[in-house]
């Protein structure tokens, strides 16, 4: 029976290849995703191991703020920690590590960073504790010097001695380029532009004065790393300004950094893997259909095997063996194709300038195992029912029956489908009545399964309606085509099912995106009363300093300019982090309309808080309620001074921008909304503001309509990406139709 199964595979290799294509495409995407992740993970693991190999202790804030998807943002520590760590016996050197946003402006007065490229700045450090290697020139000294990474200098066409404009937390400033550097022999780590300064300049210009991200410590060799870390911890705990810190050894900070990368790549992997498994599910329908048709066509052959002594179990095993060979073949080819896909992604990213250093393609045993199991299991799952059904036919009955599947009652199918649809409709009604909107997912799944189950029932009526025009246009050919489709409703439904899934997902994504776009257009149009917006000129990844917003308000042609920022804060009670919108209430009034239920922008003080109606209900807050917030290392009690309708231009909480003064939390803004001064023409306004933008080096001036359309464009770009991923399912569905036509 094994030889017969293998002979059946080789005798119908063309059919087998087409069947395996469904597995090849989906497993290629799955394995390619895992290989790309493993390669990135291995690269960054090696990078961090190299970076911290000479760091014996690492001082950081113990408190972290958890953000969306489980990511954590760590607080900063005070600059006092550097001197305290340096004074501990056994410490040979201690240096501040500062990192933040810093935008390098090119000679064309535009950011050197490409679209959505990260922009970073910080300390260069020195000696064994430097994570950087100066490749040309020297390290910066004093408040007027800067070092750029090699790639940024090349992109900006900068040479040593040139004046380089950099924008950061403290505003815009020009520096003299005194050196070029690489991060562990990487021209541009993380594809970011880097501007590096001495400790004091980095703190004052890039971050917040008096705060650093961490302290790097090198031992004099007199103590083990763990003992040194414990001694530094005790010294820091004894000073009030440095409590709330933790000290790690070099291996510990290496492991922590590697874990953070794994967490970030894990989300990326899960997202792409979802589409891989959707493709596998579609492939499962295709394989099920192929084996169902094959089993029907081979009933006489199987009956003959039964007649000469083969048992039902042997016939079933024979067909499952064929399925295993197909699944194994498709998975192996998919694994090889996935390696090519992973390499292709790396090459494409490098061509776009978005690449990362690579240590070569990494293929782990886990990736191989998952790919093979997914491919073989999917094939066996799809082939199991047809294989079992084929073996149940008695030898004599099968020898005299037709090769086509026999009609069966649809009563159970209709009952199950009706129940699923009814559940979906009832759930939608419950959501409309006030139930949790998360239940809509249950409704969608229920209705979708119900429609899928009704496929064989609806196949004949639908094909009759759709086939009538074809019959009239094509005569006997059209009539035969319609009759062939109607002859076996189950096969027709199975063939159409993969297309149904692909089209349903594409349609669902389109409708969802269109709904969001329309909602954004409506709500932003109502809440934004101004006429103009200065948006990031870097795909939304750059920020503006508060000083830039203040400069705009000094332009005579500008009526008012207000910036919207986003601050990372934390509830003291439950330690949960959240992002709050920061505003300047003096300029927000008249430009932004949040539809206040109580209070207004005018009532907001630096010790106040505005909350949305939804947040007020969730947290049981009312006007006058007090809330304990942690702003960096500082605990502040604020008072609810206003409640507004939920806004698409704000988070659930809004604070005064001055609340962040003197804290370690960044106080930059993401958008600047403006109005014209009375009597000023559009042309004069644009000329004046564009001149300020050119001087500053960041931003694109948009009118109200352009800004609203731009929010929709972001959704469209995401939608096109999803379309590309769902295209895999559609391609597999097309293979299924081709296979069905060939087998028919």
User: pLDDT per residue over 123-159, tens digit each?
Assistant: 998 888 988 989 999 999 999 999 999 989 998 999 9
Q: Residues 655-702: pLDDT tens digits?
A: 999 999 888 888 888 889 999 999 999 999 999 999 999 888 888 899
On the question of pLDDT at 732 being above 70, the answer is: yes
Beta bridge partners of 686: none
Which has more pLDDT, 296 or 534?
A: 534
Q: Residue 286 in contact with residue 22, Cβ under 8 Å?
A: yes
Which has more pLDDT, 493 or 108?
A: 108
DSSP 206: I
Element spanning 112, H or E: none
Tell me the CB-side half-sphere exposure of residue 344, using CA atoms within 13 A: 10
Does residue 147 lie in a domain region? yes
Count other C-beta atoms under 10 Å from residue 396's C-beta.
11
What integer pLDDT is reported at residue 400 of this predicted model?
58
What percentage of the chain reaches a pLDDT higher than 70?
90
What integer pLDDT is reported at residue 5 of this predicted model?
66
Which has more pLDDT, 705 or 105?
A: 105
On the question of pLDDT at 80 being above 50, the answer is: yes
On the question of pLDDT at 252 being above 90, the answer is: yes
Q: Residue 546 in contact with residue 668, Cβ under 8 Å?
A: yes
Q: Residue 512 in contact with residue 519, Cβ under 8 Å?
A: no
DSSP 75: P
What integer pLDDT is reported at residue 610 of this predicted model?
94
Would you place residue 280 in the very low, low, confident or very high pLDDT band (cuts 50, 70, 90)?
Answer: confident
Two tokens at 601? Answer: 């922008």
Does residue 62 lie in a domain region? yes
Does residue 88 lie in a domain region? yes
Here the contacts of 3-9 (C-beta below 8 Å, separation 24 or greater) are: 4/305, 4/318, 5/318, 5/319, 5/321, 5/322, 5/325, 6/321, 6/325, 8/318, 8/322, 9/322, 9/325, 9/326
Mean pLDDT of 15-20: 75
Backbone angles phi, psi at 556, to 5 degrees: -60, -35
Q: Residue 181 in contact with residue 150, Cβ under 8 Å?
A: yes
Does residue 178 lie in a domain region? yes
On the question of pLDDT at 434 being above 60, the answer is: yes
Mean pLDDT of 184-191: 67
Which has more pLDDT, 325 or 743?
A: 325
Chain centroid, CA 44 distance in Å: 19
Q: Residues 504-556: pLDDT tens digits?
A: 888 888 888 888 788 777 777 777 888 899 987 554 456 888 889 999 999 99
What integer pLDDT is reported at residue 317 of this predicted model?
84
3-state class of 475 per DSSP?
Answer: coil
State which of 261, 295, 324 marks the end of a domain.
261
What integer pLDDT is reported at residue 297 of this predicted model?
72
Q: Residue 14 in contact with residue 323, Cβ under 8 Å?
A: no
Tell me the CB-side half-sphere exposure of residue 567, using CA atoms within 13 A: 28
Would you place residue 95 in the very low, low, confident or very high pLDDT band (cuts 50, 70, 90)?
Answer: very high
Mean pLDDT of 295-309: 73
Does residue 270 lie in a domain region? no
Two tokens at 82? Answer: 């550097």
Which has more pLDDT, 327 or 721?
A: 327
Mean pLDDT of 237-258: 89
Could you give the CA distance from residue 702 to residue 711 in angstroms, rounded to a whole number?
12
State which of 261, 293, 315 marks the end of a domain.
261
Which has more pLDDT, 557 or 471?
A: 557
Mean pLDDT of 364-393: 86
Angle between helices 312-351 and 2-11 (to 10 degrees): 50
Average the pLDDT over each of 24-38, 192-206, 604-618 and give the range with the smallest value.
24-38
What integer pLDDT is reported at residue 323 of this predicted model?
86
Which has more pLDDT, 725 or 692?
A: 692
What integer pLDDT is reported at residue 690 of this predicted model?
92
Q: Dihedral sign for Cα 262, 265, 271, 273, please.
A: negative
- Nearest of 578, 715, 583 to residue 658 by alpha carbon: 583
Mean pLDDT of 594-606: 91
Two tokens at 580? Answer: 């709050």
Which residue is associated with the tokens 């000290």? 247
Residue 11's alpha-carbon distances to 322, 323, 352, 447, in angstroms, are 12, 14, 46, 42
Q: Residue 655 in contact with residue 512, Cβ under 8 Å?
A: no
What integer pLDDT is reported at residue 498 of this predicted model?
79
On the question of pLDDT at 120 being above 70, the answer is: yes
On the question of pLDDT at 110 being above 70, the answer is: yes
On the question of pLDDT at 294 being above 80, the answer is: no
Mean pLDDT of 208-222: 92
What integer pLDDT is reported at residue 540 of this predicted model?
47
State which of 207, 227, 261 marks the end of a domain.
261
Residue 645's alpha-carbon distances to 322, 616, 625, 649, in angstroms, are 62, 10, 18, 11
Domain count, the chain: 2
Element spanning 396, H or E: helix 395-400
Q: Residue 49 in contact with residue 261, Cβ under 8 Å?
A: no
Which has more pLDDT, 58 or 273?
A: 58
What integer pLDDT is reported at residue 666 of this predicted model?
86
On the question of pLDDT at 66 being above 60, the answer is: yes
**Pairing between β-strand 653-656 and β-strand 577-583 as defined by DSSP bridges:** parallel
Q: Residue 530 in contact with residue 593, Cβ under 8 Å?
A: no
- Nearest of 74, 368, 355, 59 to residue 188 by alpha carbon: 355
Q: Residue 387 in contact with residue 319, Cβ under 8 Å?
A: yes
Q: Residues 399-414: pLDDT tens digits?
A: 555 544 555 667 888 8
On the question of pLDDT at 609 being above 60, the answer is: yes
Residue 547, domain extent: 543-697
Mean pLDDT of 363-383: 90
Does residue 626 lie in a domain region? yes
Best-predicted range by mean pLDDT among 273-277, 370-374, 447-451, 693-697? Answer: 370-374
Does residue 122 lie in a domain region? yes
Strand order through the sheet with 214-219: 91-97, 214-219, 57-61, 245-249
Mean pLDDT score of the chain, rounded to an integer? 84
Could you give the CA distance from residue 290 to residue 269 in angstroms, rounded to a whole number?
31
Two tokens at 538? Answer: 């870097």
Does residue 279 lie in a domain region? no
DSSP 205: I
Torsion of CA 722, 339, 267, 366, to 10 degrees: 140
Two tokens at 281? Answer: 């599910």
Count other C-beta atoms under 10 Å from residue 457's C-beta.
16
């Amino acid at each position: 029976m094994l030889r017969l199964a293998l002979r059946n595979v080789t005798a119908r290799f063309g059919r087998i290849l087409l069947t395996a294509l469904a597995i090849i495409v989906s497993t290629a995407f799955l394995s390619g995703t895992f290989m790309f992740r493993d390669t990135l993970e291995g690269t960054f693991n090696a990078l961090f191991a190299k970076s911290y190999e000479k760091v014996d202790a690492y001082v950081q804030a113990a408190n972290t703020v958890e953000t969306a998807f489980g990511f954590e943002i760590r607080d900063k520590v005070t600059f006092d920690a550097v001197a305290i760590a340096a004074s501990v016996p056994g410490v040979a050197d201690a240096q501040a590590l500062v990192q933040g946003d810093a935008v390098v402006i090119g000679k064309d007065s535009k950011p050197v960073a490409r679209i959505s490229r990260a922009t970073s700045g910080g300390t260069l450090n020195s000696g064994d504790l430097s994570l950087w290697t100066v490749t040309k020139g020297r390290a910066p000294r004093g408040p007027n010097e800067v070092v750029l990474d090699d790639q940024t200098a090349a992109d900006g066409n900068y040479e040593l001695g040139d004046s380089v404009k950099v924008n950061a937390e403290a505003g815009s400033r020009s520096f003299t380029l005194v050196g070029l550097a690489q991060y562990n022999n990487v021209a541009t780590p993380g594809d970011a532009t880097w501007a590096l300064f001495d400790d004091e300049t980095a703190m004052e210009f890039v971050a917040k004065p008096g705060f650093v991200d961490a302290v790097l410590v090198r031992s004099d060799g007199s103590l083990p790393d763990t003992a040194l870390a414990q001694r530094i911890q005790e010294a820091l705990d004894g000073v009030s300004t440095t409590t709330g810190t933790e000290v790690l050894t070099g291996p510990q900070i290496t492991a922590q950094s590697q874990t953070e990368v794994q967490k970030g790549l894990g989300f990326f992997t899960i997202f792409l893997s979802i589409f891989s498994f959707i493709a596998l599910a579609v492939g499962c329908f295709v394989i099920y259909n192929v084996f169902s048709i094959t089993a029907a066509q081979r009933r006489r052959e199987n009956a003959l095997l039964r007649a000469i002594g083969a048992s039902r179990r042997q016939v079933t095993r024979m067909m499952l063996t064929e399925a295993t060979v197909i699944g194994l073949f498709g998975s192996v080819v998919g694994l090889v194709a996935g390696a090519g896909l992973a390499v292709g992604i790396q090459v494409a990213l490098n061509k776009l300038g978005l690449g990362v250093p690579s240590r070569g393609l990494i293929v782990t045993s886990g990736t191989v195992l998952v790919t093979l199991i997914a491919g073989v299991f999917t094939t066996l799952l799809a082939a199991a029912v047809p294989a079992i059904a084929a073996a149940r036919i008695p030898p004599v009955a099968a020898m005299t029956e037709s090769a086509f599947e026999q009609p069966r009652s649809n009563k159970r199918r209709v009952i199950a489908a009706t129940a699923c649809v009814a559940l979906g409709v009832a759930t939608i009604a419950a959501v409309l009545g006030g139930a949790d909107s998360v239940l809509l997912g249950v409704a969608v799944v229920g209705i979708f399964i119900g429609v899928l189950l009704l496929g064989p029932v609806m196949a004949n009526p639908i094909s009759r309606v759709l086939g009538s025009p074809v019959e009239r246009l094509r005569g006997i050919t059209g009539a035969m085509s319609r009759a062939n489709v109607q002859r076996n409703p189950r096969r027709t439904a199975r063939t159409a099912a993969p297309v149904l899934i692909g089209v349903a997902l594409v349609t669902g994504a389109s409708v969802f995106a269109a709904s969001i776009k329309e909602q954004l257009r409506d709500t932003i149009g109502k809440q934004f009363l101004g006429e103009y917006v200065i948006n990031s000129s870097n795909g939304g990844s750059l920020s503006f300093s508060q000083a830039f917003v203040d400069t705009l308000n000094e332009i005579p042609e500008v009526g008012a300019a207000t910036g919207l920022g986003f601050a990372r804060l934390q509830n003291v009670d439950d330690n949960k982090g959240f992002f709050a919108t920061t505003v300047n209430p003096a300029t927000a009034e008249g430009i932004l309309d949040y539809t206040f239920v109580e209070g207004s922008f005018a009532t907001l003080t630096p010790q106040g808080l505005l909350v949305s109606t939804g947040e007020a209900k969730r947290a049981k807050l009312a006007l006058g309620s007090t809330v304990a917030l942690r702003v960096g290392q500082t605990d502040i009690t604020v008072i609810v001074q206003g409640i507004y309708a939920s806004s698409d231009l704000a988070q659930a909480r809004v604070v005064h921008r001055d609340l962040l003064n003197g804290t370690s939390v960044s106080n930059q803004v993401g958008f600047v909304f403006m109005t014209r001064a009375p009597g000023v023409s559009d042309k004069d306004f644009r000329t004046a503001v564009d001149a300020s933008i050119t001087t500053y080096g960041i931003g694109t001036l948009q009118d109200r309509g352009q800004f609203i359309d731009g929010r929709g464009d972001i959704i469209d770009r995401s939608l096109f990406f999803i379309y590309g991923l769902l295209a895999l399912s559609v391609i597999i569905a097309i293979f299924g139709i081709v296979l069905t036509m060939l087998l028919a």
